[in-house]
Amino acid sequence: MNYNYIAIEGNIGAGKTSLATRIAEQYNGKLILEQFEDNSFLPKFYKDPDKYAFPLEMSFLAERYQQLKDQLTSHDLFSSFIISDYFINKSLIFARKNLEPAEYNLYYRLFHIINSSLPKPDLLVYLHVNVPKLQQNIEKRGRDYEKLIQQSYLEKIQESYLDYLRQREDMRILILDTNNIDFVANEMDYRRLVEIINKDYPKGIHRDYLEG
């Protein structure tokens, strides 16, 4: 791969983990996966968002920071690059939509204190999937607590991601519309996707629309 550190991002159900895992396996990459299933606040949040939003976002921030700090600073002689299925700045994207203004202001300050020590990805890939397809993907993987996710929640997270990405001209960002391909089941779709990701991009936002 052309990049030392790639982060795959996207809304809930976009296929981040599937893509990052497959690329890591094929190209001998060090894989970093978000451990969200271990978060005890997540099922509670989907049942009662107002009560559990702040502890959920704080616990995610602590877990993401500790994992990335450990993984990005340790050298793996047997891996040629690092690929992750999240970018820690997603913490701000979700917190801005889930927290009250006073809570978010505190969260924002804490985030920037701890984030200053972490390296940024050489390439941030955002998988753009429309909400109906996200819902299909969520239904297909069958996690009980995700059945409580409302369409309106997915829509506001999608909007928040895109608003954030438009402001980040200091990074290499690749937005890929994957609505009309299936890179999990279709080998040709997967190869085309990797080929696009592996191009040499300057800093700024780049977009590509893939047809099946």
CA distance 80 to 156: 36
What pLDDT was estimated at residue 104? 97
What pLDDT was estimated at residue 77? 66
Mean pLDDT by 10 residues, the chain (212 residues): 96 96 96 86 92 96 94 78 96 94 96 92 97 94 87 94 92 96 95 97 94 76
pTM of the model: 0.92
Is the Cβ–Cβ distance between 177 and 207 less than 8 Å? yes
Residues 187, 189, 195, 198, CA torsion sign: negative
Query: Among all residues, which ones are annotated catalytic?
Result: 85
Task: Please state the three-class secondary structure of 75-118 as a single string.
Answer: CCCCCCEEEECCCCCHHHHHHHHHCCHHHHHHHHHHHHHHHCCC
Is the Cβ–Cβ distance between 7 and 125 less than 8 Å? yes
Report the CATH number at residue 116. Answer: 3.40.50.300
Is the Cβ–Cβ distance between 82 and 4 less than 8 Å? yes
What is the span of the domain harbouring residue 76?
5-209
In 3-state terms, what secondary structure has residue 143? coil
Token pair for 63: 């877990």
What pLDDT was estimated at residue 76? 72
Number of structural domains the chain divides into: 1
End-to-end CA gap in the chain: 24
CA distance 95 to 161: 11
What pLDDT was estimated at residue 61? 95
The DSSP code for 209 is E
